[in-house]
DNA sequence: ATAAAGTACAGGGTTTATCCCCTTGTGACT
DNA sequence: AGTCACAAGGGGATAAACCCTGTACTTTAT
């Protein structure tokens, strides 16, 4: 395979070590050529505009500082629709997968897959225009089936505020004061959330909040 | 360089794609030979015992399910002190770096370093027995300054276990049963930790645990 | 060698917070 | 008129948090 017929790839990831290693892996497959690296979305924008060759596929990390994967995919899908985007993430959360696909990604890969899967995914994205692993396909189906959705996990604004306050050292009484509500109303929120989210106590609520990004440490 | 004179490396990381890529990077340097991968600490234990060749260095990820980097480094430093450990993490938190070094790691590398630094670090660990980047060296110096040390944050093993159980929906009574201790002893642990860590209630303890990586979501 | 100090575990008793059940008033919308 | 969402309350059981005390065993000092 000559250099001309190789598929051109760009890697966007803030972890230099990973990006560099990934390049070696792609080279070892023999049919790919890495044009350049970028350490975040805006770095990618600049380098893409200056590049003399355009990539066929962008391997895009989601968790990045400055301009994350969602923003980058969104921008690229309006700027150059012919460049395919393969999202790379450690997160197998359904919400994240769907959000990334809605931002225009052509495929979604978990970082804990076998290296051979990456080759398979890249070739599929190039030839078929999309790639979906079993997990992603399952998430897609779930989202299309409204019956299987979990409406009990939809939260109202006051519930979100309460949950994030419950992740602090405040007592329920103090939370009530802060929200200008009666402690008894807070008691009602608590009881309602415990049964809807199937948790047993306040620690369960904190864990739920952290899992679903309703509260962030530090 | 013949295969015999190459340095033997083992990679312990739950992200298969990263581990596989890293292997290609190491191969490209020419002076390293990857013996095997493991996806967590206990997987590593098993494979190490069966392996016909022993590694010179273990590249060890910190964030893993089942048996994390701390536990693994701890185990290895008592099992085989001649095998060097180079910790790999995205976390530049001072606490984490020091904890890993206390667990017996011979060096600490951030995942966002340049690939060439990895080669440098590996060679230094092999020849000098340790490697410390600027950031790690700075953290070490800080810890040597007794004025800035926080001895009240050093935890005993039972305290660590208690804290991670306090991050679940278990009551203190259930935690006591699980640890084969009286509920009153647990009450003592709780009181001691609240005053030492300057927190007011169990939620504070959960937040502390998550900040300092004593408990991990999911 | 023995007293003093420290550490780990466990107990009694009390207050406060959490958790749970059941009920009520008030607008708002069909 | 009905029911729905929301805020609020009464009463009570359980868990969490905070006292202070005691025993057994180890470490350290003299």
The alpha carbon of A163 is separated from its chain's Cα centroid by a whole number of angstroms, namely 23
Q: Does A122 touch chain B (CB under 8 A)?
A: no
- Establish, for the pair of chains A and B, how many residue pairs have beta carbons separated by less than 8 Å: 110
Average pLDDT taken over every residue of chain A? 85
Determine the average pLDDT of the residues in B50-76.
88
Which CATH architecture group holds A151-211? Orthogonal Bundle (1.10)
Q: Say if residue A166's pLDDT is above 50.
A: yes
CA of B36 to C1' of D1 (A): 75
Q: Say if residue B184's pLDDT is above 80.
A: yes
Give the pLDDT band of residue A63 (cuts 50, 70, 90).
confident
pLDDT of residue A102: 81
Q: Do B17 and A109 touch (CB under 8 A)?
A: yes
Report the percentage of chain A scoring pLDDT > 70.
89
**Domain definitions of chain A by residue range:** 3-144, 151-211
Q: Which residues pair with B108 in a beta bridge?
A: B87, B132
Q: Say if residue A164's pLDDT is above 50.
A: yes
Closest-CA residue to B87 (of B67, B53, B63): B63
- Cα–Cα separations (whole angstroms), residue B42 to A157, B34, B39, B65, B69: 44, 19, 8, 10, 11
| Residue B137, C-beta contacts closer than 8 angstroms, at least 6 positions apart | none
Q: Does A14 touch chain B (CB under 8 A)?
A: yes
pLDDT of residue B147: 41
Q: Does A46 touch chain B (CB under 8 A)?
A: no
Strand (E) or helix (H) holding A120:
helix A115-128
Determine the average pLDDT of the residues in A158-182.
93
Q: Say if residue B2's pLDDT is above 60.
A: no
Q: What dihedral do alpha carbons A96, A54, A124, B15 form, nearest 10°?
A: -50
| Residue A128, C-beta contacts closer than 8 angstroms, at least 6 positions apart | none
Instruction: Say how far apart CA A27 and CA B23 lie, in whole Å.
Output: 13
Q: A21 vs chain B: nearest CA distance in angstroms?
A: 5
**pTM of the model as a whole:** 0.66
Pick from B18, B112, B169: CB nearest A204: B169
Pick from B88, B200, B203: CB nearest A202: B203
Determine the average pLDDT of the residues in A34-42.
91
Determine the average pLDDT of the residues in B92-113.
82
Among A42-46, A76-80, B161-165, which stretch is predicted with the lowest mean pLDDT? Answer: A76-80
Does residue B155 or residue B23 have the better pLDDT?
A: B23
**A positions 150-169 inside 8 Å of B (CB):** 166-169
Determine the average pLDDT of the residues in A204-215.
89
Q: A140 vs chain B: nearest CA distance in angstroms?
A: 22
Average pLDDT taken over every residue of chain B? 85
**A171 contacts on B by Cβ (under 8 Å):** 201
Residue A137's SS3 state is helix
pLDDT of residue A96: 77
Domain covering A3-144 assigned CATH 3.40.50.2300 in the classification? yes
pLDDT of residue B104: 83
pLDDT of residue B199: 92
Give the pLDDT band of residue A3 (cuts 50, 70, 90).
low
Q: Please calculate the CA angle B100-B101-B105 and round it to the nearest 5 degrees.
A: 85
Q: Does A92 touch chain B (CB under 8 A)?
A: no
CA of B201 to C1' of C9 (A): 22
Tokens read off for B27: 């191969």
Q: Say if residue B146's pLDDT is above 60.
A: no
Among A120-124, B59-63, B129-133, B176-180, which stretch is predicted with the lowest mean pLDDT? Answer: B129-133
Determine the average pLDDT of the residues in B17-38.
93
CA of B166 to C1' of C6 (A): 27
pLDDT of residue A147: 44
Pick from A21, A117, A211: CB nearest B21: A21
Residue-wise pLDDT for B155-171, tens only, equals 888 898 999 999 999 99
């Amino acid at each position: 395979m000559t250099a001309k017929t190789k598929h051109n790839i760009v890697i966007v990831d803030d972890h230099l070590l990973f990006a560099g290693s990934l390049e070696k892996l792609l080279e070892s497959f023999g049919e790919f050529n890495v044009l350049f690296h970028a350490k975040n979305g805006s770095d990618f924008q600049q380098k893409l505009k200056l590049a003399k060759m355009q990539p066929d596929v962008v391997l895009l990390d989601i968790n990045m500082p400055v301009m994350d994967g969602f923003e980058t995919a969104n921008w690229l899908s309006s700027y150059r629709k012919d460049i395919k985007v393969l999202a790379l993430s450690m997160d197998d959360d359904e919400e994240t997968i769907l959000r990334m696909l809605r931002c225009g990604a052509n495929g979604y890969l978990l970082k804990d897959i076998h290296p051979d899967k990456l080759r398979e995914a890249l070739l599929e994205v190039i030839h078929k225009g999309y790639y979906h692993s079993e997990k992603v396909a399952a998430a897609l189906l779930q989202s299309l089936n409204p019956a299987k959705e979990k409406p009990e996990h939809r939260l109202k604004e006051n519930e979100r505020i309460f949950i994030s306050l419950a992740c602090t050292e405040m007592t329920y009484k103090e939370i009530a004061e802060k929200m200008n509500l009666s402690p008894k109303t807070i008691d009602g929120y608590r009881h309602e959330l415990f049964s809807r989210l199937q948790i047993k106590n306040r620690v369960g609520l904190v864990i739920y909040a952290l899992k679903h990004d309703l509260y962030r440490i530090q």
